[in-house]
Amino acid sequence: MGIPARKFGGLVLTLAVNTAAMALGLLLAMLCVKHSLERSDTVMLVAVYFILLKLALIVALALLFSCFTTPLLAILFTVGLYIAGLYVQELRNLPIEVMSPGMSAFTKWLSYLLPNFENFNVMAMAAHGRAVPGALILQNTLYTMVYCAIVLTAAAAVFSRRNLK
């Protein structure tokens, strides 16, 4: 296991512990307000899980950028990709009529290359107590695992070529 993968594991574990503590605080606050927890409240836990998946993607991207650039640029690149990843669906829905065929193909290709953070947004479902489909949970989990594996493989390749002397 490479150094970026070990760092990723440690960072995600730290985030998981912090996220679990915050989820516990959320459940306690809900218990204090409503005096009972209902089955529909489990949707909040799915939303928290999706937040953890988004954080794992962000950590993987930050590790990739930290392998070949300065800390400030790594932060800027990661934040930029996060913001772009929030608007992937809009990028896919751009009107093709106003773009050249080359630009249309580029934006379509770019929309599949960028991480799609909008997939993890189930806040409206959680707020209204609607169940999140199990297929979406599985899809987002697999998406995160595959995307992180690809990004960490690239980070390991970049890191192995660095001259640390």
- Reported as a single tens digit per residue, the pLDDT across 32-77 is 887 777 777 778 888 999 999 999 999 999 999 998 889 999 999 9
Determine the pLDDT at residue 31: 86
Q: Do residues 98 and 111 lie in contact, with contact meaning Cβ atoms separated by under 8 Å?
A: no
- At residue 4, does pLDDT exceed 80? no
User: In sequence order, which ranges of the chain are alpha helices (DSSP H)?
Assistant: 3-34, 42-66, 71-86, 88-92, 101-113, 123-128, 134-160
Reported as a pLDDT band with limits 50, 70 and 90, residue 161 is confident
- Reported as a single tens digit per residue, the pLDDT across 66-123 is 988 899 999 999 999 999 999 988 888 877 777 788 888 888 888 889 999 988 988 8
Determine the pLDDT at residue 107: 85
Q: Do residues 126 and 47 lie in contact, with contact meaning Cβ atoms separated by under 8 Å?
A: yes
- At residue 165, does pLDDT exceed 70? no
Enter the tokens of residue 34: 């409503």
Name which of 79, 151, 85 is nearest 114 in CA terms. Answer: 85
Query: For 100, phi and psi rounded to 5 degrees?
Result: -70, 160
State the pTM of this model: 0.87
